[in-house]
Amino acid sequence: MTLPVAEKTSSVAAGASSAILAAYLRRTGKSRQAHARARILLPGGTSRQAGYWEPYPLTFDSAEGVYLRDLDANRYFDLINNYTAMVHGHAYGPIVEAARRQAARGTGWAGGNLAQLELAGQIVERVAAVEQVRFTNSGTEAGALALNIARKITGRPKLLMARFGYHGSLMEFECGSFGHQGPVTLLATYNDLADFEGVLAEHGGDIAAVFLEPVLGSGGVVSGAPAFLKGVQAAARKAGALLVLDEVLTLRFGHRGVQGTLGLEPDLTMFGKLIGGGYPVGAVGGKRDLLRIFDPADLKLFHTGTFNANPVTMVAGGVALSHLTPEAIGRMEAGAQTLKDALTGAARKAGLPFSVNHHGSCLNLYFSDRPPHASMVRQDTALIGRFHLAAMNRGLFLAPRGMIALSTVMTPGQLDEIGQRAAAALADLAAEAEDLIPEPAG
Ligand SMILES: Cc1ncc(COP(=O)(O)O)c(C=O)c1O
């Protein structure tokens, strides 16, 4: 939500007695100046809502390995890794080398390249429900394409998704992210199978596809119960709707995705983020039978894009995926557990209400005794906002909503240091938390 400027200024002024806010302002003057310029040139001062926070976002200068560096030369451990995309951290040597080599050999042409066969081959080899892959430039585009495929195949107009699910920055999905039904978007409650079954029973004849994240990412790292995910799959099939499993974020949780771990068999799978090795990417995968609508000899669905499967993204993604071994996934997950334990202990010591959602290498932090059913309905926005600033002051960068996604290159020693820095940030928060803790409801 965008606040009017006057209100915005006063909310910053109201926090002026905060030592955390004062330290942030003191440490990040160049980011403040950059944001003032950005507000003139970019609407809202950014091209990306998830890269904005109050009082102004950091502007980064560079990134390498587990570190980010801002314009004021402050260094941060990156605990969000571009919302999970940088699964091997920043400027990962083998990816830099592959991308550099490719850039020198050309970065795009209107014809085939072998690198896309290599990346598609890896995806097909890993994910049993995928026989063919169609590349796009973002997860959002993959969602739009999956919706078009489902509409073309079924001849139906609508989609069903989880309330507070996220499938990209597209109107049809956004109303679901904000929790309100749209003209073509129907909603049901995540992890509530009866709700999904009920909507499918009532509206099944209009529903082209059920879109589903196996773990809610933006919604706050909420694991889908296996029986729920399998039940939605069965209900979608019964209603004649396609199941589109959104593994844009969750591919990092398993060598064959969450669908491989749980034995799900979606009709279509959305991919993105890590399969681009840090470059823009998305993809839709599925069985040959369904995807033959793209067969140029009998074209049913037109889809093209100037940068689809561009060779730089393809070579970078090929390296990223091949280095994401089961061992590397396990290492990240162990790191997340270590960090969760450290944060929980430190929050308890600081006397703060605290809970964590955890799936694999991702965490979502809450300053409440129990996590809410989705981040969008949290009561602790003042506390998490202040903690976000406190963490940056202590050299840690996580998502403003408290999400953390680790990378494969973080060492146990670095995790220890992160735990200590987080404990210091939690103590800073506890020192000024009194006014920010919401009254218990009722
Ligand atoms: C589950 C999921 N689907 C789709 C998307 C959209 O991907 P992109 O940001 O590349 O458009 C995201 C991005 O956060 C996501 O987490």
Within a domain: 164: yes
Residue with tokens 């940030």: 425
Mean pLDDT to the nearest integer, 102-125: 98
Tokens of 274: 């890590």
Which residue among 248, 258, 364, 375 has the greatest number of ligand 1 atoms within 8 angstroms of its CB, and so is best to mutate?
Answer: 248
Residues 165 and 270 occupy one common structural domain: yes
Residue 107 — pLDDT band, cuts 50, 70, 90? Answer: very high
From ligand 1's centre to the CA of 435, what distance in Å? 35
Q: Does the pLDDT at position 435 exceed 90?
A: no
Question: Can you give the pTM of this predicted structure?
Answer: 0.95
CB 272 less than 6 A from any atom of ligand 1: yes
Which atom, in ligand 1's list, is nearest to the CA of 273?
Answer: 10
Rounded mean pLDDT, 32-57? 97
User: Does residue 167 share a domain with residue 271?
Assistant: yes
List the single range of 131-135, 308-312, 438-442 with lowest mean pLDDT.
438-442
Query: Among the atoms of ligand 1, which is closest to the Cα of residue 280?
Result: 10
Confidence grade of residue 8 (pLDDT, cut at 50, 70, 90): very low
How much is the mean pLDDT over the chain? 95
Express each pLDDT in 296-334 by its tens digit. 999 999 999 999 999 999 999 999 999 999 999 999 999
Q: Ligand 1 mean position to 166 CA, how many Å?
A: 7
Cβ neighbours, 10 Å, residue 194: 12
- CATH number at 54 reads 3.90.1150.10
Q: Are 72 and 97 in a shared domain? A: no
Q: Is it the case that residue 9 has pLDDT exceeding 50?
A: no
User: Is the pLDDT reported for residue 441 higher than 80?
Assistant: no
Q: Is residue 5 part of a domain?
A: no
Q: Same structural domain for residues 289 and 378?
A: no
- Domain end, chosen from 323, 352, 380, is at 323
Q: Which two tokens stand for residue 365?
A: 């932090």
Tell whether ligand 1 has an atom less than 6 A from the beta carbon of residue 253: no
Q: What is the mean pLDDT of residues 329-355?
A: 98
Statement to judge: residues 310 and 360 lie in one domain? no
Q: Clarify whether residues 317 and 363 are in a common domain.
A: no
Give the closest residue to 80 by CA, choosing from 243, 314, 257, 249.
249
Q: Are residues 140 and 258 in the same domain?
A: yes
Helix (H, G, I), strand (E, B) or coil at 3: coil
Mean pLDDT of 205-223: 98
The reply to whether 150 falls in a domain is: yes
The answer to whether residue 246 sits within a structural domain is: yes
Which of 308, 323, 338 represents a domain boundary (last residue)?
323
Helix axes 381-393, 412-431, angle to 10 degrees: 130
Q: What is the pLDDT of residue 16?
A: 59
Domain range for 229 is: 93-323
Residue 258 within a domain: yes
Q: What is the CA radius of gyration of the chain?
A: 22
Is 112 strand, coil or helix?
coil
Asked if residue 15 is part of any domain, the answer here is no
Assess whether 274 and 396 both reside in one domain: no
160 and 110, same domain (yes or no): yes
Ligand 1 in reach of 138 Cβ (< 6 A): yes
| Residue 246, ligand 1, Cβ within 6 A | yes
Q: What is the pLDDT of residues 190-213, one digit of tens each?
A: 999 999 999 999 999 999 999 999
Among residues 189, 195, 134, 182, the alpha carbon closest in space to that of 163 is found at 189
Query: Which of 372, 371, 387, 382 is CA-nearest to residue 426?
Result: 387
What pLDDT is attached to residue 13? Answer: 46
The CA distance from 419 to 60, in Å, is 23
Q: How far is the CA of 442 from the centre of ligand 1 (A)?
A: 36
Asked if residue 14 belongs to a domain, the reply is: no
3-class secondary structure, 303: coil
- Is residue 391 included in any domain, yes or no? yes
Residue 424's φ and ψ, nearest 5 degrees, are: -65, -40
Pairing of strands 268-272, 242-246: parallel
- Report the CATH number that the domain containing residue 171 is assigned in CATH: 3.40.640.10
Of 86, 87, 249, 250, which is best to mutate to test ligand 1, by the most ligand atoms within 8 angstroms of its C-beta? 249
pLDDT at residue 440, as a whole number? 65
Separation between Cα atoms, residue 101 and residue 341, nearest integer Å:
42
pLDDT, residue 331, reads 97
Q: In this structure, are 332 and 311 located in the same domain? A: no
Q: Are 293 and 261 in contact (CB under 8 A)?
A: no
Structural domain total, the chain: 2
Closest ligand 1 atom, CA of 165? 1
Confidence bin at 7 (pLDDT 50/70/90): very low
pLDDT digits (tens, 9 = 90+) for 241-293: 999 999 999 999 999 999 999 999 999 999 999 999 999 999 999 999 999 99
* 271 and 413 housed in the same domain: no
Confidence category of residue 438, pLDDT binned at 50, 70, 90 = confident
Which of 84, 86, 135, 140 to mutate for ligand 1's pocket (most ligand atoms within 8 Å of CB)? 140
Provide, rounded to the nearest whole percent, the portion of the chain with pLDDT above 70. 95
Shared domain for 63 and 100, answered yes or no, is: no
Last residue of a domain, which of 289, 323, 357? 323
Q: Which amino acid is at 209?
A: A
